[in-house]
């Protein structure tokens, strides 16, 4: 029984570790980012990112971090202050996808720049509403496990990673 539990723990932990494919070119090398304790500046897009999703810190944690409806996410962004700056906002879909690391999965993000990013099936809101007949009901979200983006009902509760500056 003890051997079975040890094997189960090993398999469970290894199944959620970041996997990068060396044969695919990295999209976001470490030198692309200027990293401070709480922020990351992308030198290619000139966007400044909050290094951690809202409600998370540099400490490892499972299930921590704040989740919001889309409206709550927009409101939180308007009231957010970090490093004496108060012009943070929810990124649009293009901006949030710019930090995806598509040669990796189970953390499709540069984990050096953005540690402890919730990944597997953990969606992050963007400011981009869905166009078409559901414009008032859906907005785009991105997840950092596989790097997918999809429109979701604005009443769902997802993480947020805030940004300032512009493309």
Phi–psi pair at 75, nearest 5 degrees: -65, -40
What pLDDT was estimated at residue 115?
Answer: 85
What total of structural domains would you count in the chain?
1
Question: pLDDT tens digits, the chain, 167 residues: what are they?
Answer: 444 333 333 223 333 455 565 544 455 566 889 999 999 999 999 999 999 988 886 666 655 789 999 999 999 999 999 999 999 999 999 999 999 987 776 778 888 898 888 876 789 999 999 988 777 899 999 998 888 999 999 999 999 999 999 75
Distances (CA, A) of 126 to 23, 24, 41, 83, 93: 30, 27, 18, 22, 6
Residue 118: domain span: 31-164
What CATH number did the domain enclosing 96 receive? 3.10.100
Residue 108 domain-assigned (yes or no) = yes
């Amino acid at each position: 029984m003890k051997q079975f539990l040890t094997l189960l723990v090993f398999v469970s932990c290894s199944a959620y570790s970041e996997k990068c494919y060396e044969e695919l070119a990295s999209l976001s090398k470490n030198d692309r980012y200027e990293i401070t304790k709480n922020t990351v500046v992308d030198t290619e897009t000139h966007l400044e990112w909050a290094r951690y999703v809202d409600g998370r810190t540099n400490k490892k944690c499972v299930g921590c971090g704040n989740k919001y409806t889309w409206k709550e996410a927009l409101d939180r962004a308007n009231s957010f202050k970090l490093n004496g700056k108060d012009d943070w906002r929810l990124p649009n879909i293009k901006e949030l996808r710019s930090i995806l690391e598509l040669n990796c999965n189970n953390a499709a993000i540069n984990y050096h720049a953005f540690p402890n990013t919730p990944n597997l099936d953990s969606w992050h809101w963007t400011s981009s509403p869905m166009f078409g007949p559901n414009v008032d009901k859906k907005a785009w979200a991105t997840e950092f496990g596989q790097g997918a983006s999809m429109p979701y009902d604005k009443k769902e509760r997802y993480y947020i990673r805030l940004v300032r500056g512009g493309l």
